[in-house]
Structure 1
């Protein structure tokens, strides 16, 4: 009987020991959760498939994953690109994506070393009013041509050179708006950002203008990535965190998994 009572007492004490252990561990667990950093990053609102208006997209996934790899939680704030850009230029936010290099960034914004994606700068025309075709490999338009562009986008050197050739740029909030204006004959041409993962007319389809407008010719390519404010107190530190996180997801296969999930029919290009 004594042996049975001792065994019973032994087993009854175990839940109490477990509770004591959990009680001792709880403060350190809570402290670990409390010290996990959170950053608010600005994301462009109208650049599918890279960044969608609902906060999803390939670039959004990449940025969140890179910071997560470094134990930093990212809260994405989706805004029009013009606001995204200027909030980082003036140092009111840490970072913005998707950015391409521009001379106005000198001393104010530093782009991550690795691009997130590469895009084409393409001229679209009206089906019923085609543009004169430039010689192969060049980007030229007749002087006085009114071209739709997106407010504050950074374009290729070939595209921006059109300004000095007498081309008139008229800005809008998105490529979709410019395609609709082109279809309505309010523009002579539109400078549209496309990519090699989708058909050239994908944005025209989304804008409901595929019967009225079409691709005319290319005006070069640009790379896009995340840019960090040099005037924000956490800008450079956040850049270092992101770049190490990006290096890790590139090495451990997470980056490839994001690409496969977003573009299952397209091969991964190193």
Structure 2
């Protein structure tokens, strides 16, 4: 990852636009994965230093310091929690594995409620080991959602179905399009089940803007990061800083805003170079790219 001094043109973006002097950061959220080397306390402090008002938390670092301590750190810093990542992985067919998955998702819902997270992001799971039956795996997700949605609603947490890029269909998410996620979500009250619009996962879909309009108030989370080429050997790490890849972000933001969504815009990046960089510099670059390319 390259960083550029804020007083100069950000050449990596491929634009002559200078960084916005006082960008509106009121909706910007740092997803913890973007600064992966930081624990909760460091990420909270980093947001405060940079003037980022919200944070997307991950369950594992929250559990490392304890749920109540994480909640206190965020609350005392005056930050919002934009989301909790992640629940899901609901495609195990064996009864015992299925019970464990459902129990863990109920726990994740409880954690989100304690943290004040408006939504729990669900990465629904890929094909069961040895299976080629994609419709059956999707049916397992639908069955699990029927159990989890009322539980989430009782606790004031919305389940946010995240469709993932098709290259992750086999191992991570048998939901690949926003249309598929909405087909499942629409069976439930809007306060129980929504969807995630993530530019990395959806930029390729020719129907995406039609489906964003369809989503309306089902949008529970809006996440941005770029799709980098070449794709690394570990495809999970193909996400990039806005401006380093091939995505045009402003049309996505405008389409999401047109639905009436006024929630946080979360930057979530899985990238080895970003993770190896100085996290404060990562946030500084994130703010510049957000101002120049997303707003």
TM-score when scaled to structure 1?
0.27
Q: Which has the higher helix share?
A: 2
Q: Which has the higher strand share?
A: 1
TM-score when scaled to structure 2?
0.25
Query: Which of 1 and 2 has greater Rg?
Result: 1
Name which structure has the greater RCO, CA cutoff 8 Å, separation 6+: 1
